[in-house]
Structure 1
């Protein structure tokens, strides 16, 4: 929930600032800026909640804490990538792959009731997935709209077809 609030809050704030200062909404810039801020926010969680996040990973994955730190570094790199137009497509594709690969860990942790903030097994359980899965779908659509869409053949989403 917190990352979504960060994403939407910074998008709204940046949009208003751009509109007031330049007369235009600059939605592509603000959408990618907000996504970058959200990723920096979530990357902090990889350091702050390393133990709980490492519990989300299945036993067959070695070096769990290192994986959590590396995914946090990946989120920082993606945040930078979304800020520069020449890297947005690559950042978008990598982020989509990351979201798809992270979903099973989120599902697993929900069924095990893992609270990644505390490392305890007192999480919200499977009910959390009613929020998490739609949020990940929303993030996929956000990335497509703000970061990938301009690089896609218009025949796939144009209203003219």
Structure 2
């Protein structure tokens, strides 16, 4: 059950560090870049899981799906590509859309894993784990949207002081 906590720490920590440094230095806070770094770290972490725990990842995919091992490797590589994309400002919005799609497309595998008590990342808890996983997925999707997909300069930010604009 520690995996969701690790995932949250990975995406939020760079944002918190950048926020702290900008506050201490009294400089502008680049929330979008800091959050993108966190997302990059998160996708690198989850991509590594596809190679370090391949067999457990394979168990998350229904048995009727062909070439499950190959799919685990390909999706791991895709997560690495997304991780790199978040680090390239010109690619960030497109990468955000790709990450959002992946998060939505992968969720059924999490449901399957929870229903079948796959012993990985909390799924062994069964369907109860989805009470943790679904909100976590929503938080990550929101983070992706807010910091990478959403166009900066919306009405919500117009009234914010320059130091906290995102």
Which band: TM-score by shorter chain? 0.7 to 0.9
SS of 2:113 mapped into structure 1: helix
Closer, same or farther in 2 for the Cα pair 1:14/1:49, shift >3 Å? Answer: farther
In the alignment, what sits opposite 2:125?
Answer: 124
Closer, same or farther in 2 for the Cα pair 1:66/1:14, shift >3 Å? Answer: farther
- How many pairs are equivalent? 153
Instruction: Give CA deviations for 1:108-151 in whole Å, capped at 9, x if unaligned.
Output: 1101111126xxxx811111101100111111111111001117
Alignment TM-score, normalising by the size of structure 1: 0.85
* Greater displacement, 2-11 / 18-27: 18-27
Q: Which runs of 5+ in 2 are unaligned?
A: 159-166
Root-mean-square deviation over aligned CA pairs: 2.3
1:17 Cα deviation from its structure 2 partner: 3.4
* Greater displacement, 19-28 / 135-144: 19-28
**Distance in 2 between residues matched to 1:116 and 1:128, nearest whole Å:** 11
Q: Does 1:34 align with 2:34?
A: no
Higher relative contact order (CA 8 A, sep 6+): 2
Closer, same or farther in 2 for the Cα pair 1:46/1:22, shift >3 Å? Answer: farther
Q: Which runs of 5+ in 1 are unaligned?
A: none
Instruction: Give CA deviations for 1:37-64 in whole Å, capped at 9, x if unaligned.
Output: 1111111111111100110101222121
SS of 2:124 mapped into structure 1: coil
Alignment TM-score, normalising by the size of structure 2: 0.83
**Distance in 1 between residues matched to 2:23 and 2:54, nearest whole Å:** 39
Instruction: Give CA deviations for 1:80-103 in whole Å, capped at 9, x if unaligned.
Output: 111112101110111111011111
SS of 2:151 mapped into structure 1: helix
1:18 Cα deviation from its structure 2 partner: 4.4
**Distance in 2 between residues matched to 1:125 and 1:11, nearest whole Å:** 32
In the alignment, what sits opposite 1:103?
Answer: 107
Structure 1 segments of 4+ aligned residues over 3 angstroms from their partners:
17-22
